[in-house]
Amino acid sequence: MFGLGKLFYVVVLTINGIAVLSEDRFLNRIGWGSTTSSNSNGNIQNQFNQFQTGLDSSEGSVKKKLINLISAVRTLMRIPLIAVNIAIILYEIILG
């Protein structure tokens, strides 16, 4: 049965996943970093950048909002996530 507790776990796990995304390793490579590098690393990277530029023109505002949401979660939610994760772990250990 799907309840509010499971929904809470899904939300917390999703926020955890967003919070641990590495900007250097992952977000900059797909062009979603707050400071994307303008240098290209070969022909495939140039093609991807051209494709990404095409997406930027059609869905620029949605992409910018998602980038801002990811950066906000990564900066503002780290400390509260630590407390929530500790509470969930203690709950599972004690009442599991």
Query: What is the pLDDT at residue 94?
Result: 93
Tell me what pLDDT residue 54 has.
55
- Tokens 């797909």 correspond to 30
What is the pTM for the complete model shown?
A: 0.60
CA distance linking residue 64 with residue 66, whole number of Å: 5
Check residues 61 and 4 and name the one with the higher pLDDT. 4
CB 78 within 8 A of CB 19: yes
Q: What is the pLDDT of residues 25-54, one digit of tens each?
A: 777 777 777 664 444 445 566 556 655 555
Segment 60-94, tens digit of pLDDT? 678 788 878 888 888 888 889 999 999 999 999 99
8-state DSSP, 7 = H
Range list of β-strands (E), the chain: none
